[in-house]
């Protein structure tokens, strides 16, 4: 038992470059900033709705009723500013927890109007995890001087991977708990696709491009259902890292693409790859970008020092 | 450094990150002990796509009445870009008193007046329709509809 715990500890705390964790902070933080800024007008619109439509979830359950519109917008702007500081790594120990708390509040408030979405849960969990980690030791403005943490950076990246895996695992388990193994036969998903697209049509939204052909020939949905359950229940393989984790991420991304084509439901966080960045070498594009930027800044200076021809 | 001292150092340095990891993973998995229908945010049971649903559905929605026919309205005109929230808004509005129904209709008409794409709409009707999703999507068959409230779009 002791040996197993020691092995688990060594594995969880195995090293990873500080740059990788910093890259995740920058990428996920940028997504969060853009997401919150993009939701501001919607939050403003929601604030105009009658009080009866307010159905608080999560931390927003603390409220008895909706907040005034001006306050909702002010909180959304403050959230975006804090997330920008989080992304840039400014006074990280202070701004990161505040940014995570503000994001949790703002998105919980957005989900408190009749129907919780499932598109933002992982983003919030990732930002909270990053806020608890030393993610601004490199590639940060006004970073704290000091020696690297004794526990390194690998545990935080592994935590992000575990959170991604956990959310997909929960989705798979929910299908088994609610529908059982019969979910695989495809009929239940066919009805879901049909009802969802009908609802979209009646509410003036676009019907998914592959919905009608698949509804007309439902046998293909059995394959889609089987693969979905394998992906969701098998999400824990991402903790192994390496090629297996990357293959799972590719499969999960393809699943989300399938959901767009069949139901026109967009999960932007995984669809744009951010949910799967923790299983990749996320620092590589940033290293290239920062290297290119350094070279670009140094080149004119070098030319300026050159002797006249 | 003795083995014991080294162990103490490991425990001291790793305690906080380990606690953070356990709490966050535990919280994320905590919905497993709740009923799958007991959804929340951000700690969700992720019950989407899991429920058995009949293909015949009754729901309320707003339509724009034009001089030649009618048009389905975008969810933004109801008050949100999200389809599911738009549906919840209409269902709650339609479940209220006659005055509340008219208030919802007028609110939609006021929003629509500002959208040039719907210039041809002269009135809003909120209807409750019953459709078979497969008939509607594959064969284009519209089911039955009952008009619940109608209001003019004042221009």
Nearest to B41 among A46, A121, A132 (CB): A121
Q: What's the pLDDT band for A146 if we cut at 50, 70, 90?
A: confident
Find out whether A191 and B133 touch, Cβ atoms under 8 Å. yes
pLDDT band for position A117 (cuts 50, 70, 90): confident
Spell out the residues 6+ positions from residue B33 whose beta carbon is closer than 8 angstroms to its own: none
For the segment A44-61, what is each residue's pLDDT rounded down to a tens digit? 888 777 788 899 999 999
Mean pLDDT of B31-41: 94
Indicate yes or no: pTM above 0.80.
yes
What tens digit of pLDDT does each residue of B10-19 get?
A: 777 899 999 9
Nearest CA in chain B to A228: B49
Q: Residue A156: pLDDT above 70? A: yes
- Sign of the Cα pseudo-torsion (B57, B62, B65, B70, in order): negative
**Helices A154-179, A219-233: inter-axial angle, 10-degree rounding:** 140
Which residue has tokens 């695992």?
Answer: A169
In chain B, whose CA is at the least distance from the CA of A196? B133
| Nearest Cβ partner for A192 among B49, B74, B77 | B49
Contact list, B57 vs chain A (CB under 8 Å): 195, 198-199
What percentage of chain A reaches a pLDDT higher than 90?
Answer: 84
Q: Tell me, what's the pLDDT at A192?
A: 93
In chain B, what residues touch A212 (CB-CB under 8 Å)?
A: 137-138
Q: Kindly give, in sequence order, each residue whose CB lies less than 8 Å from that of residue A263, ignoring residues fewer than 6 positions away.
A: A192, A193, A196, A197, A208, A211
Q: Do B74 and A204 touch (CB under 8 A)?
A: yes
Q: How many CB atoms lie within 10 A of CB A112?
A: 22
Span B16-35, mean pLDDT? Answer: 97
| Distance between B37 CA and the closest CA of chain A, angstroms | 9
In terms of Cα–Cα distance, which of A249, A42, A18, A29 is closest to A151? A18
pLDDT at A302 over 60: no
B50 CA: distance to closest CA in chain A (Å)? 5
Spell out which residues of chain A touch residue B41, defining contact as CB-CB under 8 Å: 57-58, 107-108, 111-112, 116, 120-121
Does A308 have pLDDT greater than 60? no
A106: CB partners within 8 A, 6+ apart: A36, A39, A43, A75, A76, A79
Token pair, residue A69, equals 């519109």
Whether pLDDT at A218 is above 90 = no
In whole numbers, what is the pLDDT of chain A averaged over residues?
93
Handedness of CA A85, A88, A94, A100 (dihedral sign): positive
Please give the pLDDT value at position A49.
75
3 state SS of A120: coil
CA-to-CA distance for A284 and B35, rounded, in angstroms?
A: 42
The stretch A141-156 carries a mean pLDDT of 87
Q: How many CA atoms lie within 13 A of B25 on its CB side?
A: 19
Cβ neighbours, 10 Å, residue A288: 10
The pLDDT of residue B1 is above 70: no
ipTM above 0.90, yes or no: yes
- At A305 the pLDDT is 57
Residue A92 pLDDT class (50, 70, 90 cuts):
very high
Query: Does the pLDDT value for residue B79 go beyond 90?
Result: no
**Of A276 and B5, which is predicted with more confidence?**
A276
Residue among A136, A172, A135 at smallest CA distance from A155: A135
Residues A138-158 have a mean pLDDT of 89
Q: State the DSSP code for A91.
A: T
**pLDDT tops 90 at residue A287:** yes
| pLDDT (mean) for A158-186 | 96
pLDDT the model gives residue A291: 93
Q: Give the distance from residue B122's alpha carbon to the nearest chain A alpha carbon, in angstroms.
A: 17
Q: How far apart are CA A61 and CA A47, in angstroms?
A: 16
Contacting residues for A68 by C-beta, under 8 A, at least 6 apart: A47
A163 neighbors A129 (Cβ within 8 angstroms):
yes
Pick the residue from chain B with its C-alpha nearest to A13: B14
Q: What is the pLDDT of residue A24?
A: 98
Question: Which of A168, A177, A182, A202 is the best mutation test for B, with the most CBs of B within 10 A?
Answer: A202
Residue whose token pair is 């989080």: A86
- Residue B80, min C-alpha distance to chain A (Å): 6
Question: Are A163 and B53 a contacting pair at CB < 8 A?
Answer: no
Q: How far is A128 from chain B (nearest CA, A)?
A: 9
pLDDT in tens, B88-116: 889 888 988 999 999 999 999 999 999 99
Instruction: Assign A260 a pLDDT band (cuts: 50, 70, 90).
Output: very high
pLDDT score of B11: 72
Instruction: Report which secondary-structure segment, H or E, holds A289.
Output: helix A283-305
Residue A267 pLDDT > 60, yes or no? yes
């Amino acid at each position: 038992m002791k040996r197993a715990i020691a092995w688990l500890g060594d594995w969880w705390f195995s090293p990873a470059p500080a740059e990788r964790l910093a890259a995740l902070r920058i990428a996920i933080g940028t997504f969060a900033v853009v997401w919150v800024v993009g939701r501001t007008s919607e939050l403003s619109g929601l604030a105009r709705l009658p009080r009866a439509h307010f159905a608080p979830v999560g931390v927003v359950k603390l409220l008895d009723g909706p907040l005034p519109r001006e306050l909702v917008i002010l909180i959304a702007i403050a959230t975006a500013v804090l997330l920008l500081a989080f992304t840039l790594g400014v006074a990280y120990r202070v701004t990161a927890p505040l940014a995570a708390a503000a994001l949790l509040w703002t998105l919980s408030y957005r989900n408190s109007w009749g129907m919780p979405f499932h598109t933002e849960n992982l983003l919030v969990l990732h930002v909270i995890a990053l806020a608890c980690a030393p993610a601004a030791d490199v590639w940060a403005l006004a970073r704290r001087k000091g020696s690297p943490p004794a526990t390194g950076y690998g545990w935080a990246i592994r935590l992000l991977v575990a959170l991604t895996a956990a959310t997909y695992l929960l989705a798979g388990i929910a299908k088994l708990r609610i529908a059982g193994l019969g979910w695989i036969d495809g009929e239940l998903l066919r009805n879901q696709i049909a009802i969802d697209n009908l609802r979209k049509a009646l509410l003036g939204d676009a019907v998914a491009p592959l919905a009608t052909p698949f509804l007309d020939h439902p046998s293909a949905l059995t394959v889609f259902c089987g693969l979905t359950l394998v992906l969701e229940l098998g999400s824990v393989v991402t903790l192994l890292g390496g090629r297996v984790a990357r293959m799972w991420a590719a499969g999960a991304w393809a699943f989300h693409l399938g959901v767009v084509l069949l139901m026109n439901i967009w999960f932007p966080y995984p669809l744009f790859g951010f949910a799967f960045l923790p299983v990749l070498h996320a620092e590589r594009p940033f290293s290239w970008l920062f290297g290119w930027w350094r070279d670009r800044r140094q080149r004119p200076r070098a030319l300026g020092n050159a002797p006249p021809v | 450094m003795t083995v014991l001292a080294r162990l103490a150092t490991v425990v001291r340095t790793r305690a906080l990150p380990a606690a953070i990891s356990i709490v966050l993973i535990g919280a994320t998995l905590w919905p497993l002990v709740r009923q799958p229908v007991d959804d929340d945010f951000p700690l969700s049971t992720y019950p989407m796509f899991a429920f058995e649903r009949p293909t015949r559905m009754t729901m309320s929605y707003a339509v724009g009445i034009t001089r030649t026919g009618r048009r389905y309205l975008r969810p933004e005109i109801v008050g949100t870009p999200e389809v599911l929230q738009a549906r919840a808004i209409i269902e709650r509005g339609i479940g209220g008193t006659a005055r509340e129904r008219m208030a919802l209709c007028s609110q939609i008409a006021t929003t629509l007046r500002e959208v040039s794409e719907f210039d041809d709409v002269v009135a809003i009707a909120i209807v409750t329709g019953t459709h078979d999703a497969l008939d509607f999507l594959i064969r284009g068959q519209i089911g039955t509809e009952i008009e619940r409230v109608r209001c003019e779009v004042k221009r």
